[in-house]
Amino acid sequence: MKQNKVAVYRKEHFNAAHRLHNHAWSDEKNATVFGSCNNKNFHGHNYELIVKVTGEPNPDTGYVLDLKVLSALIKKEILDQFDHKNLNLDTVYFQQVNPTAENIAKVIYQLLRDKLDEQLELKIFLYETERNYVEYPA
Amino acid sequence: MKQNKVAVYRKEHFNAAHRLHNHAWSDEKNATVFGSCNNKNFHGHNYELIVKVTGEPNPDTGYVLDLKVLSALIKKEILDQFDHKNLNLDTVYFQQVNPTAENIAKVIYQLLRDKLDEQLELKIFLYETERNYVEYPA
Amino acid sequence: MKQNKVAVYRKEHFNAAHRLHNHAWSDEKNATVFGSCNNKNFHGHNYELIVKVTGEPNPDTGYVLDLKVLSALIKKEILDQFDHKNLNLDTVYFQQVNPTAENIAKVIYQLLRDKLDEQLELKIFLYETERNYVEYPA
Amino acid sequence: MKQNKVAVYRKEHFNAAHRLHNHAWSDEKNATVFGSCNNKNFHGHNYELIVKVTGEPNPDTGYVLDLKVLSALIKKEILDQFDHKNLNLDTVYFQQVNPTAENIAKVIYQLLRDKLDEQLELKIFLYETERNYVEYPA
Amino acid sequence: MKQNKVAVYRKEHFNAAHRLHNHAWSDEKNATVFGSCNNKNFHGHNYELIVKVTGEPNPDTGYVLDLKVLSALIKKEILDQFDHKNLNLDTVYFQQVNPTAENIAKVIYQLLRDKLDEQLELKIFLYETERNYVEYPA
Amino acid sequence: MKQNKVAVYRKEHFNAAHRLHNHAWSDEKNATVFGSCNNKNFHGHNYELIVKVTGEPNPDTGYVLDLKVLSALIKKEILDQFDHKNLNLDTVYFQQVNPTAENIAKVIYQLLRDKLDEQLELKIFLYETERNYVEYPA
């Protein structure tokens, strides 16, 4: 077996406000299902974002992808849109979509997937708190 | 020298939204001074709160203060008011006072100071992010 | 390819005493194989438990599984039995089975597997110390 | 003002079992006061120990104290007695003294104080869990 | 389905100097591609190394592999060669191979693979910083 | 008592190579005293730097010092000189002075002290590894 693939990980973070809410539901149902996460005035998190990129290292550089390049890409595509923002009000992605960690991870995946070489595999880990986090795709 | 005092620490956390804003200033000045922290739609943090209590251990229990008791006190006095809340809109403390980490720490100090035995010394550490935190009193 | 699955993780912890011991062996052999972990008076750990659940998010909530629900399930099925306990003496699971991290993880897996929807995949990570941990199933 | 003093810190850890118990009390009172920490079959922790030594750096080495030397001292005086042990049963220090974090820190302080140069100041931080810790002297 | 495999992880660390450099390139090209990582006088890292070994637990011990044995193996095969060393100058592995995290992980993999039972699977995680890390094989 | 002072902390990091060496000593004595830290080809660290600034918050901003300003100051005065450098060869500070953590902390203190308002108190914490760190002034 020839094992050439290596995964590289870059960790970034952003601070954002959000609330969980399903517009198709009554306020009562939202409060019941989402509890304090449904607070109408929002709450917030220090999101820790880990981006995993898998591929074959370039034989000249020894890099799968220069992590400075990946960090700059995450900054441009994700942090500039999400950091110090209200995810529900300040971004276009969560007008209809509920900003659960699951859904935020999927949005981040799609934004980065569009900018990465097809031959590179991509995975997103998103920590909402140190104790609650998600992985996409699983 | 007789050294009898021991400090005990309890770490708790809460998630909250806030914005930095001085109501006496113009929007322009607020934006200039506070930058993205002034975002009118709020942003948020996972605040890590460390409460330090110093005193002489009780000779019968060996405790300065039972940390389960301290944890319950922090929950009742602080977390129930601040967790999953908007600090500017959902609490009475930051209507006029700017919710910087410095000011949040002072409010937490006062709320706990009022409930603790006078012979116990109190100090608050508040982490806004892993890289930015404050201590009061210093 | 349609990628719908997301993994969600919940981290909990419990403190327990244990000793490693194979009842079929002599005391000498146990001491040789398990060293200080075989101490007859027990030693202990702050176990960090990470439960990973993989599935398709519910389109209405955006949740694979509400992590408050998962946390409550872990508390009821695992922590209430294991926290502040002696794993060898106070639980039914390690009367004959040696409470290595590997075996504890398998017991936790089975206890939670029985309570989770069949369509959800389950994986357990158990940290005995920050530097020693296990994953089941691998 | 001439500021010559520097503090150096060394972090070590040990795993131990213990139970909280006051021999002068009834079992009922012990259970009421100490709760699950009083479990007669013991529970345990990964204790994180941070030793702080303050003094003037040696002008030839630039060291207050070589941290390899401090680490070896902690290993010999503390870890060899406490690691993978039952603090109540396997050590001489907690036969009468309740092994709360406060009391363990005081015992560690005394054991190290006796071995360190008088001109060096000593302070002990002991983490029972990531969220509960103590400092002595305070 | 019979799920017998468990993965065990051991975390170790080493401190080393390195520089990124492709000997086939001009100094200018090296500086352009590797930036400050190409500094001719070297820079350094606290590398965190996590070794994952997957297999079926031994029914007598409950261990996939005794982590004390794995720790000793890592010490002998890796740390004794890499810790407090200059990876470019003091080891034989990076005379021609650029010591990127990707390439260091592959070297560590091969060194450990040769010493482990064939039935055990092996994976290496190497943290160059808390925010930049790699996994091999991916 | 009027308690007005608050301490604010900012954590930054830099990666550097160094070796411990006293030029007034023989190679043998250096090797004996500093061991592997004396390796002539250098080794390296991810230094974690925590800068603590204590003062009275500005009543208009609620800040002791804007941590973005402090972060920029640390970047300009410290990181630009130390990050991805060889402390012995690439900086002017450790030509004669041994780059122990103690001495690096003192140099950082002086560089920042010169740029900060006199009314602000300053303290430096420098982590050479997670387990070895120093504080100046103590």
The confidence score (pLDDT) of residue E135 equals 98
What pLDDT, in 10s, does the model give residues E83-132? Answer: 999 999 999 999 999 999 999 999 999 999 999 999 999 999 999 999 99
What average pLDDT does the segment E13-33 reach?
97
Residue B101 clears pLDDT 70, i.e. is over it? yes
The confidence score (pLDDT) of residue D2 equals 57
The confidence score (pLDDT) of residue A1 equals 45
Would you call F37 a catalytic residue per the annotation? yes
Residue B108 clears pLDDT 60, i.e. is over it? yes
The confidence score (pLDDT) of residue A97 equals 95
The confidence score (pLDDT) of residue D32 equals 96
Put simply, whether C10 touches A (Cβ < 8 Å) is yes
Contact E84 F37 (CB under 8 A): yes
A55 forms bridges with which residues in the sheet? A6
Residue D29 clears pLDDT 90, i.e. is over it? yes
Residue E23 clears pLDDT 60, i.e. is over it? yes
Nearest C-alpha neighbor of D90 from the set A93, C9, C36 = C36
Residue D28 clears pLDDT 60, i.e. is over it? yes
Q: What is the mean pLDDT of chain B?
A: 96
- DSSP characters over E38-84: G-TT-EEEEEEEEEEEEEPPPTTT--SS-HHHHHHHHIIIIIHHHTT
Contact F6 B97 (CB under 8 A): no
Percent of chain E with pLDDT over 70: 99
Shortest CA gap B135–chain D (Å): 16
Dihedrals phi, psi of A80, to nearest 5 degrees:
-65, -25
Contact E62, C134 (CB under 8 A): no
- DSSP characters over chain F: -----EEEEEEEEEEEEE----TTS-HHHHHHHHGGGG-TT-EEEEEEEEEEEEEPPPTTT--SS-HHHHHHHHIIIIIHHHTTEEHHHH-STTSSS---HHHHHHHHHHHHHTTS-TTSEEEEEEESSSSEEEEE--
Contact C134, C125 (CB under 8 A): yes
What pLDDT, in 10s, does the model give residues D62-97? Answer: 999 999 999 999 999 999 999 999 999 999 999 999
Single out the catalytic residue among C77, C84, C102, C121. Answer: C84
Q: Which chain B residues touch D103 with a CB distance below 8 Å?
A: 57, 62
E-contacting residues of F 75-104, CB under 8 Å?
83-86, 89-90
Residue A92, Cβ density class (10 Å: 0-12 exposed, 13-18 middle, ≥19 buried): exposed
Contact B6 D105 (CB under 8 A): yes
Residue C68, Cβ density class (10 Å: 0-12 exposed, 13-18 middle, ≥19 buried): middle
Q: Count contacts between D and F (CB, < 8 Å).
A: 58
What pLDDT, in 10s, does the model give residues F113-123? Answer: 999 999 999 99
ipTM attached to this prediction: 0.95
The confidence score (pLDDT) of residue F2 equals 56
pLDDT in single tens digits along all 138 residues of chain A: 457 899 999 999 999 999 999 999 999 999 999 999 999 999 999 999 999 999 999 999 999 999 999 999 999 999 999 999 999 999 999 999 999 999 999 999 999 999 999 999 999 999 999 999 999 999
CA dist list (Å): B94 to B18, B20, B91, B106, E21: 9, 10, 7, 12, 54
Q: Which chain E residues touch C102 with a CB distance below 8 Å?
A: 6, 8, 57, 62-64
Contact E6 C136 (CB under 8 A): yes
Query: Chains meeting E at 3+ CB pairs closer than 8 A?
Result: A, C, F
Put simply, whether C32 touches E (Cβ < 8 Å) is no
Nearest C-alpha neighbor of C59 from the set D52, D103, F97, A100 = A100
What pLDDT, in 10s, does the model give residues B30-62? Answer: 999 999 999 999 999 999 999 999 999 999 999
The confidence score (pLDDT) of residue D93 equals 98
Residue E2 clears pLDDT 60, i.e. is over it? no
Please state, in angstroms and rounded to a whole number, the distance separating the CA atoms of residues D50 and D12: 6
D8 forms bridges with which residues in the sheet? D53, F134
Which of D24, D98, D102 is opposite residue B8, by nearest beta carbon?
D102
Q: Count contacts between A and C (CB, < 8 Å).
A: 59
What pLDDT, in 10s, does the model give residues F5-29? Answer: 999 999 999 999 999 999 999 999 9
The confidence score (pLDDT) of residue D33 equals 96
Please state, in angstroms and rounded to a whole number, the distance separating the CA atoms of residues C42 and C112: 27
HSE-up of residue A47 (Cα within 13 Å, Cβ side)? 32
The confidence score (pLDDT) of residue A79 equals 98
What pLDDT, in 10s, does the model give residues C81-129? Answer: 999 999 999 999 999 999 999 999 999 999 999 999 999 999 999 999 9
Domains and CATH numbers, chain C: 6-136 (3.30.479.10)
The confidence score (pLDDT) of residue F1 equals 44
CA dist list (Å): C24 to B57, C29, C113, E65, F133: 46, 10, 30, 20, 47
